[in-house]
Amino acid sequence: MSQLRVGVIGYGYWGPNVVRNLYALEACQVTALCDKNPAALQKALRVYPGLRTTTDERELLTSPDIDAVAIVTPVWTHYPLAKMALENGKHVFVEKPFTATAQQAEELVELADRKNLRIMVDHTFLFTGAVKKIRELVDKGVLGPLYYFDSSRINLGLFQHDVSVVWDLAPHDLSIMDYVIRDKAEAVVATGGGHVNDRADMAFLTVYFPNKVLAHINVNWLSPVKVRTTLIGARDKMLVWNDLEADEKIKVYDKGVTVTGAEGVYDLLVSYRSGDVWAPKVDQTEALKAELGYFLECIDSGATPFNDGQAGLRVVRMLEAADKSLAERGKAILL
Ligand X SMILES: NC(=O)c1ccc[n+]([C@@H]2O[C@H](COP(=O)([O-])OP(=O)(O)OC[C@H]3O[C@@H](n4cnc5c(N)ncnc54)[C@H](O)[C@@H]3O)[C@@H](O)[C@H]2O)c1
Contacts with ligand X by CB under 6 A lie at: 9-15, 34-37, 40, 57, 72-75, 77, 95-96, 122, 124
Q: How far is the CB of 55 from ligand X (least distance, A)?
A: 7
Nearer to ligand X, 34 or 213 (CB): 34
- Comparing every residue's Cβ against ligand X, the nearest one is 12
Q: How far is the CB of 87 from ligand X (least distance, A)?
A: 16
Nearer to ligand X, 278 or 306 (CB): 306
In terms of Cα–Cα distance, which of 132, 105, 103, 100 is closest to 119?
A: 105
Nearer to ligand X, 9 or 143 (CB): 9
β pairing state of 202-208 and 119-122: unpaired
Strand ranges, E, within the chain: 4-9, 28-34, 53-54, 68-71, 91-95, 119-122, 146-156, 187-193, 202-208, 214-220, 222-234, 238-242, 250-260, 269-278, 333-334
Q: What are phi and psi of 284, to 5 degrees?
A: -100, 5
What lies within 8 Å, CB to CB, of 327 at 6+ separation is: none
Nearer to ligand X, 11 or 147 (CB): 11
Query: SS3 helix, strand, coil % of the chain, rounded to 5?
Result: 35, 30, 35
Q: How far is the CB of 257 from ligand X (least distance, A)?
A: 36
What lies within 8 Å, CB to CB, of 101 at 6+ separation is: 79, 316, 320
Q: How far is the CB of 120 from ligand X (least distance, A)?
A: 12
Nearer to ligand X, 80 or 280 (CB): 80
Q: How far is the CB of 323 from ligand X (least distance, A)?
A: 16
Q: How far is the CB of 75 from ligand X (least distance, A)?
A: 5
β pairing state of 333-334 and 187-193: antiparallel
Three-state DSSP state, 83: helix
Nearer to ligand X, 53 or 218 (CB): 53
